[in-house]
């Protein structure tokens, strides 16, 4: 069975992109060794869809970025060039379409050509818990 990701259907049905520019500097909680001032967070679910957020805290020198999303087979599903210093970019992924597929978010700076890659790996687990307690 051919995966839905191969025909870029993911872009049409799975992405909700919200773009907002922040006027204040945001502190980044990710690695201080990261070459790019970006942080990725899983924000939760909205109607069985996964919400991810990229927070950028650039400066005048680092204000042009490229975001590339690839599947396990390195097929490009999404690509966007963005210019801005401090902003947030949100992605809403359809959990049913994603399944157990791994995705990579690669963020590249235009000036220095450095990149940061985040991998999204969805693991589904069912847990049953049983508690036995003594009654007095």
Q: For residues 134 and 33, give the distance between their C-alpha atoms in angstroms, rounded to a whole number.
A: 52
Q: Sorting pLDDT into bands at 50, 70 and 90, what band is 123?
A: confident
CATH number of 4-120: 2.60.40
pLDDT of residue 88: 92
Interval 78-120: pLDDT, tens: 999 999 888 999 999 888 887 778 899 999 998 888 999 999 8
The answer to whether residues 70 and 115 touch, using CB atoms and an 8 Å cutoff, is no
Task: Kindly report which listed range (2-6, 38-42, 59-63) carries the lowest average pLDDT score.
Answer: 2-6
pTM above 0.85, yes or no: no
> Domain limits of the chain?
4-120
Nearest by Cα to 9 from 90, 89, 97, 69: 97
pLDDT of residue 15: 38
């Amino acid at each position: 069975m051919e995966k839905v990701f191969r025909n870029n259907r993911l872009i049409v049905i799975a992405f909700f992109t919200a773009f907002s520019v922040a006027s204040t500097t945001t502190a980044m909680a990710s690695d201080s060794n990261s070459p790019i001032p970006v942080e990725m967070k899983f924000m939760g679910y909205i109607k069985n869809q996964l919400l991810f957020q990229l927070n950028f805290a650039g400066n005048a020198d680092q204000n042009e970025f490229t975001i590339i999303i690839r599947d396990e087979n390195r097929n490009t599903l999404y690509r966007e060039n963005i210019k801005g210093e401090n902003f947030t970019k949100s992605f809403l992924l359809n959990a049913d379409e994603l399944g157990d597929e791994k995705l990579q978010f690669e963020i590249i700076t235009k000036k220095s050509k450095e990149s940061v890659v985040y991998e999204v790996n969805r693991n589904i687990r069912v847990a049953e818990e049983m508690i036995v307690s003594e009654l007095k």
